Structure 1
């Protein structure tokens, strides 16, 4: 038994060429030799393999080109998504900056009003007044820093954004300390305020122009009379069945633009009818102090939260700009 070692594909190729060579010979020639049909079978097989290898290489090149073309839209989509995220972060930064600016302006107004009221009613609480002024100054610095950061974000200046974030962090820390220590009204502060109100009322009874004007404004604005009530104006020599000698500012008809003669007439009429305010000013003044302090504290917390958010978003934008 003989086993052929020739490649079957090569045998089939040889048979094809054998038939072609047979057609070119005469019918009488039955036997043909390989030499009569000058075909180099090894070269044919080699060229066949090279052709298959070239086709495979071409297919590989085309496949790689298709993969690159598929990756290119993916890269474009990733860049577009990153650009959209950058735009959204900038928009959030701008909106938070506007909110922070409004909160800072509100804090400046509240702090100044609180410091003025503290100076008017309680001169002993100088530390509170200084704290309110300092809060207003810090709020002004916050507005400037936010504007600086907004400009840096639009100009894509990573270093400037980093500087604005650091300054906002320092401002937030100082504002938190002041708000936690000096803003809230403690019982000791209430006692000092009550003592200051009593002293101021005594000076008003002694016709001190500054305190007379202050109490006229307080009683008219808060609709109150005296420290504890209208009986604070009663003279010790005046019988109880007579009404207390309240000023015109304790009456609903008080109008500072009127002449003294008209105001005196209205005051006597108010005393006779007993239409003056019956509530003392002590609790109302304390309530106003607590409310303004609470508002200052709330606005300070809001501003600190906005500053922290601006710091975080600014750090993200700074990192993105640095990578770009």
Structure 2
């Protein structure tokens, strides 16, 4: 197995929305804002090469939306999926599977593109299966008013229409708060094997049945954190995004996950932290906190 970080493009989001009720004087220490209160955000995807299978985890925003749409997100830098794939010797047609942690536009928008004459939409990865789960698919295709603006039909429905949509199985989760020892005992309840090349932790706080991939690579345990832990600044348990639909579920989910990550030396791959690609965490008197920061090349040459 080989892993490759794929940069799909950077953007900016309102810092207050990213940190909910946490005062700016606290979150700005780790995520400084510009004059418009916007903070740097990445859309860092992960490519998994395993034999003849090439799996891309998340696809960023894509580029099919209007100028008005992208005007809200202040894109910066010149990264793209195609450019990043090419740098590693791949083309999007080589991708056999696209695994979407969830179907918010900044995680799945790149999965679908305009057709040639711009009269409709088609899969951006023509040879790939698109992986979601049944509960989240229903949640996304029948959205609540809170999340409706994040679940865009043009990003989602063409997957089903193309016949390329597949679902992973899902476990029932215990969402009670756990001590580190309890979290270790319960780990088998929430680390479930997927039909792909990694395990999945299902989390419901941000959105219903978000999927967090967990895998081992070069002797290291790696977790693709998606929106369970967007940035380093979100490590303290109360630092929960305003975007989360069930913040009181995010708290025990994050606590359980971070306790195990600290106990078992997980390397946390941060999808949205523009300046800290990978971190480890440790137990402190204040709870689980940052241990070390890494670039990809520092860990995997």
Q: Same fold (TM over 0.5)?
A: no
Larger relative helix fraction: 1
Q: TM-score band (shorter)?
A: under 0.3
- The structure number with the bigger radius of gyration is 1
TM, length-normalised to structure 1 = 0.22
Structure of higher RCO (CA pairs closer than 8 Å, 6+ residues apart): 1
TM, length-normalised to structure 2 = 0.23
Larger relative strand fraction: 2
